[in-house]
Chains A and B, each alone.
Chain A
Amino acid sequence: MSNILEVNKVVKQYGDYVALNEVSLTVPKGSIYGLLGPNGAGKTSLIRIINQITMPDSGEIILDGEKLQPKHIQYIGYLPEERGLYSSMKVGEQCLYLAQMKGLSKAEAKKQLEYWFDRLGIQGWWNKKIQELSKGMAQKIQFVVCVLHKPKLLIFDEPFSGFDPVNANVIKDEILALREEGATIIFSTHRMESVEELCDHIALIHKSNKLIEGKLIDVKRQFKTNSFEVGILSDNVEGLMFDITQKFRVGEANFKSLNDEIKLEIQLGNATPNELLNVLTKRGQVMHFVEKIPSVNDIFIQTVTA
Chain B
Amino acid sequence: MSIISLIIKREFIAKVRNKSFVVMTFLSPLLFVAIAGFVAYLSSMKAETKRVAIHDESGLFVNEFVAQNNKDSEYRYLDLSAIDVQALKDSITKEDFEALLYIPKTISNKDLENKIQLVSNNSPSIIFIEKAQGIIADKLTKNNLEMAHLDTLAIEGAKAEVVLNLSKASGEESIKGLNEIKIAIGGAFGYLIMMFIIIYGNMVMRSVIEEKTNRIVEIIISSVKPFQLMMGKIIGTSLAGLLQFLIWTVIGLSLMFAASAFFGVNIGPTSRVSPEMMHVAQQEFSGTAQMYIKELWNLPIATILIGFVVYFIGGYFLYSSFYAAIGAAVDNQTDSQQFLLPIIMPLMLSVYIGFFTVINDPHGTIAVIFSMIPLTSPIVMLMRIPFGVPWWQIAISVSLLFASFFGVVWFAAKIYRVGILMYGKKTSWKELYKWLKY
* Known A53-B221, A98-B220; contact A82-B215, beta-carbon cutoff 8 A: yes
| Contact between chains at A100 and B6 (CB < 8 Å) | yes
Q: How far does the Cβ of B255 sit from chain A's closest Cβ, in whole Å?
A: 31
Binds B, one of A85-93, A158-166, A231-239, A272-280: A85-93
The one of A76, A83, A101 in contact with B218, judged by C-beta atoms closer than 8 angstroms, is A83
Q: How many residues of A contact B (CB 8 A)?
A: 28
| Contact between chains at A101 and B223 (CB < 8 Å) | yes
The one of A15, A78, A87, A102 in contact with B214, judged by C-beta atoms closer than 8 angstroms, is A87
Q: How far does the Cβ of A17 sit from chain B's closest Cβ, in whole Å?
A: 10
* Complex interface residues of chain B between 404 and 426 (CB less than 8 A to chain A): 417, 421, 423
* Known A14-B438, A15-B437, A53-B421; contact A86-B222, beta-carbon cutoff 8 A: no
Is there a chain A Cβ closer than 8 Å to B34's Cβ?
no
* Known A15-B438, A48-B421, A89-B14; contact A97-B6, beta-carbon cutoff 8 A: yes
Range of interface residues on B (Cβ < 8 Å):
20 to 34
Tell me the complex Cα distance, A284–B24, Å: 87
Write the A52-87 contact mask toward B (1 if CB under 8 angstroms, else 0).
111000000000000000000100101010111111
Is there a chain B Cβ closer than 8 Å to A145's Cβ?
yes
Is there a chain B Cβ closer than 8 Å to A188's Cβ?
no
Q: How far does the Cβ of A267 sit from chain B's closest Cβ, in whole Å?
A: 46
* Known A82-B423, A100-B6, A101-B224; contact A88-B14, beta-carbon cutoff 8 A: yes
- Nearest to A100 among chain B residues (CB) is B6
Is there a chain A Cβ closer than 8 Å to B10's Cβ?
yes
Tell me the complex Cα distance, A82–B215, Å: 6
Q: How far does the Cβ of A98 sit from chain B's closest Cβ, in whole Å?
A: 7
Is there a chain A Cβ closer than 8 Å to B3's Cβ?
yes
Write the A143-159 contact mask toward B (1 if CB under 8 angstroms, else 0).
00110000000000000
Tell me the complex Cα distance, A52–B3, Å: 16
Q: How far does the Cβ of B9 sit from chain A's closest Cβ, in whole Å?
A: 9
Is there a chain A Cβ closer than 8 Å to B434's Cβ?
yes
Q: What chain A residues lie within 8 Å of B306 (beta carbons)?
A: none
The one of A80, A82, A100 in contact with B222, judged by C-beta atoms closer than 8 angstroms, is A80
| Contact between chains at A86 and B219 (CB < 8 Å) | no
Write the B367-379 contact mask toward A (1 if CB under 8 angstroms, else 0).
0000000000000
Q: How far does the Cβ of A155 sit from chain B's closest Cβ, in whole Å?
A: 9
| Contact between chains at B14 and A85 (CB < 8 Å) | no
- Nearest to B214 among chain A residues (CB) is A84
| Contact between chains at A53 and B222 (CB < 8 Å) | yes
| Contact between chains at A101 and B423 (CB < 8 Å) | no
Q: What chain A residues lie within 8 Å of B6 (beta carbons)?
A: 97, 100-101
Q: What chain A residues lie within 8 Å of B14 (beta carbons)?
A: 86, 88-89
- Nearest to A87 among chain B residues (CB) is B214
User: Which residues of B line the A interface, CB within 8 A?
Assistant: 1, 3, 6, 10, 14, 18, 210-211, 214-216, 218-224, 417, 421, 423, 434, 437-438
9 extra interchain contacts, Cβ-Cβ under 8 A, other than A48-B421, A51-B222?
Answer: A15-B437, A84-B219, A86-B211, A86-B214, A88-B14, A97-B10, A101-B3, A101-B6, A101-B224
Question: Could you give 5 example pairs across A and B, Cβ below 8 Å?
Answer: A54-B417, A76-B222, A82-B218, A83-B218, A101-B220
